Copies of this chain bind each other. A is one copy, B any other.
Amino acid sequence: MKKMPLEKVFTLIEPGPVTLITTFDGRKNNIMTLSWITVKEFTPEFVFITGPWNHSYHALVKSQECVISIPAVDLAETAVRIGTYSGADTDKFEKFGLTPVKADCVEAPLIKECFANIECRITDHIKKHNIFVLEGLAAWIDEKRKEKRTFHAVGDGTFVTDGRKINHRKLMISKLPEGV
């Protein structure tokens, strides 16, 4: 995996893909599947929603960090299955044959099988709304991986994969941040 410039990292999250969030609670790694996430700034900052109903919540609050991993469409079924098990009684890396890779800035692991990984620290937790605000510290991309199409949760058990690309850079050029 290669380092990705931080100013481009928001382009991984803006399309709204299903993500996998890894955590380390001081003893064990865990993974949760998360679709309730958005870009917050170009800087890069993110907002996601989770609460005590998820086992990962406790590791997030304790460690104040995580990794946002982005699975390609060949991992769709795995991502769905990850969301149906709890880290309370399952080692999800082992169960789903995923490989934890040491991160640079956080103790939560990268997922080798995901084409992109964003190391994040939590900068705010708005408990009233179950909102976490995150800052990206480092990002990694597996440029050699051929399948990089992501998939999007509809929320009813169905998903939509990335289809045709449209290029409107010329129309938007005045609105794009530098270097993107």
Residues of A within 8 A of B (CB): 8, 10-11, 14-17, 35-42, 47-49, 73, 76-77, 80-81, 83-84, 124, 126, 128-131, 133, 149, 151-176, 180
CB-defined A-B contacts under 8 Å, sample of 17: A14-B35, A14-B153, A14-B155, A15-B16, A36-B38, A38-B38, A40-B49, A77-B168, A77-B171, A81-B171, A84-B174, A124-B129, A126-B129, A152-B152, A152-B162, A158-B165, A159-B165
- A170 to nearest B CB, angstroms? 8
CA distance A48 to B40 in the complex (A): 8
Contact A157 B164 (CB under 8 A): no
* Chain A contact surface mostly: mixed
Contact A47 B38 (CB under 8 A): yes
Contact B165 A163 (CB under 8 A): no
Which residue in B8, B39, B149, B168 is a CB contact (below 8 Å) of A80?
Answer: B168
- Give chain B residues whose Cβ lies under 8 Å from the Cβ of A157: 167-173, 176
Choose among A16, A156, A180 the residue with the greatest number of B CB atoms under 10 Å from its CB.
A16
Which residue in B83, B126, B155, B172 is a CB contact (below 8 Å) of A39?
Answer: B155
- A114 to nearest B CB, angstroms? 17
Contact A161 B164 (CB under 8 A): yes
- Give chain B residues whose Cβ lies under 8 Å from the Cβ of A36: 14, 38-40
The verdict on A76 contacting B129 (CB below 8 Å), with A15-B154, A47-B38 known, is no
* Extra inter-chain contacts (16) besides given A14-B154, A47-B49, CB under 8 Å: A10-B155, A15-B16, A38-B47, A40-B49, A40-B129, A40-B130, A42-B155, A47-B129, A126-B126, A129-B133, A131-B131, A149-B163, A157-B167, A157-B176, A159-B167, A160-B163
